[in-house]
Amino acid sequence: MTVKVEVVEGGVPHSKVMIVGLILTIVCIYLTYLNVLTKTELFSFFGGLAAVAALTWGSSTIKVLCSYGIGTGVPSAGMVSFGSGVIAMLFATKFGILSPIVAVVLAAVIGAILGYVANRVIAMKIPVMVKSLTELAMVGSLTLMGFTALITGSFNFSALIAPNTVLTITSAGLTATTSYLTSYIGGALIATVFLLGAIAVQHPFNACLGPNWTQDRMLMLAVECGFISMIVASLMSMPFVRIDAAIISLIVSIIGWYYTYAKYFELSKRDAAAWLDLSPIPEQEGH
């Protein structure tokens, strides 16, 4: 039996973070559907905002899970989140307008099975394991779906594998072949997005763990990690969506990142023992 070593003290309860995170994520992913309704790609940036909301919720979940003495397992929690999430997300993209809902349900099932296996078969016996892995799988699939919508402008499978025609000159003349290598999945850009999200979801708690952990500082860092990932994701969206849509995503993400990064510095300054520049090690009693 593992003993819980840290307790969540003060701040917003995790269930509230989870509900707000889930609703915001789903709403933002659905807002990218405005692309289809208005026949533009200008609303792609809502996908990035969905990923930011999901990552913030995920970092809070990792805090709950990893309070049970899983110190070195924090990065692994990020990997398991996206490893289970990518399956649900890829399958769900075949369901058109229902994709985000299918992704949530399927990820919950996969996460619950993984949690059951971890607790019963591997016998880790952590009380929140099933619930946390369920949440983490949902976070993984929704973050991937959000970034996918940001980069390709859609969460439909057909947009993810959109092939293009390559003309090659051979001895028989000009031949046209279909190439999937320039698509989001064929070009394996999803691998980059996978790691972007997996590191971003585990980093806030991994960086802020310790006796003076504070919730607002960790959640601010989670939002910051989401926005910095969104910056590079919007750069990677440039070959897929129209340049004005990519630039809107870039501007939104840079503004969000700068604000949260500055805020995080403030909060760290508030919590730190001292904020020194070019100082030696302070003298302490007994050493």
Partner 1 sequence: MENIVLGIGITALAGALAAVAGAAEDTESNIGSQGDPNSQVQLAPQMGYIHRIFNKAVAGEPPAYGLWCALGAGLTWAFLAMQLNAVLAIVLGCAITIFVQGVYATTAYLGRTASLAKFGQPVYIDILKSMTSVTMAHAFVAVFCTVTICYLMNSALGHPFPLPILGFIWGIALGAAGSATGNPYYGKERQYQNQKFGAGVPIAASGNIVRYAEAGVRNSLDNGWFTAKLGGAASGLCFGFIVFLELWRTVLFEKVGAGWGAIVVGILIILVFMVVDRFIEVWARKTYGPYTKPEEA
Residue 188 Cβ, how far from partner 1 at the closest point, in Å? 4
H/E run at residue 266: helix 243-271
Residue 204 Cβ, how far from partner 1 at the closest point, in Å? 8
Residue 155 Cβ, how far from partner 1 at the closest point, in Å? 19
Residue 236 Cβ, how far from partner 1 at the closest point, in Å? 4
Q: Are 260 and 223 in contact (CB under 8 A)?
A: yes
Phi-psi region of 125 (alpha: psi -120 to 50; beta: other; left: phi over 0): left
From 24-32, 51-59, 153-161, 187-195, span contacting partner 1 (CB under 8 A)? 187-195
From 10-18, 37-45, 122-130, 190-198, span contacting partner 1 (CB under 8 A)? 190-198
Closest alpha carbon to 94 in 80, 106, 76: 106
Residue 261 Cβ, how far from partner 1 at the closest point, in Å? 7
Q: Output 40 or 268, the one with its CB closest to partner 1.
A: 268
Choose, by CB under 8 A, the member of 98, 188, 251, 262 that binds partner 1: 188
Q: Is 167 in the site for partner 1 (CB under 8 A)?
A: no
Q: Is 232 in the site for partner 1 (CB under 8 A)?
A: yes
**x-marked contacts with partner 1 along 238-257 as a string, rule CB under 8 A:** xx------------------
- Contacts of 92-97 with C-beta under 8 Å, sequence gap 24+, read 92/141, 92/145, 93/145, 93/148, 93/155, 93/156, 93/157, 93/160, 94/157, 96/156, 97/33
Q: Is 10 in the site for partner 1 (CB under 8 A)?
A: no
Q: Is 213 in the site for partner 1 (CB under 8 A)?
A: yes
**Alpha helix segments (H runs only) across 70-188:** 74-92, 99-116, 129-152, 157-160
What's phi and psi for 283, nearest 5 deg?
-70, 135
Cross-strand partners of 153? none
Q: Is 73 in the site for partner 1 (CB under 8 A)?
A: no
Q: Are 198 and 81 in contact (CB under 8 A)?
A: yes
Q: Is 224 in the site for partner 1 (CB under 8 A)?
A: yes
Q: Rounded distance, CA 31 to CA 198, Å?
A: 24
From 45-53, 74-82, 94-102, 121-129, span contacting partner 1 (CB under 8 A)? 74-82
Residue with tokens 């070959």: 239
Q: Is 191 in the site for partner 1 (CB under 8 A)?
A: yes
Q: Is 9 in the site for partner 1 (CB under 8 A)?
A: no
Residue with tokens 């698509």: 183
Region 33-62 residues binding partner 1, contact defined as CB under 8 A: none
Q: Is 279 in the site for partner 1 (CB under 8 A)?
A: yes
Alpha-carbon separation of residue 275 from 206, 212, 271, 272 (angstroms): 21, 15, 10, 7
Tokens (6 digits) for 13: 């309860």
Q: Is 195 in the site for partner 1 (CB under 8 A)?
A: yes
Binding footprint of partner 1 on the chain (CB under 8 A): 74-75, 78-79, 181-182, 186-189, 191-196, 198-199, 202-204, 206-213, 217-218, 221, 224-225, 228, 231-232, 235-236, 238-239, 261, 264-265, 267-269, 271-282, 284, 286-287
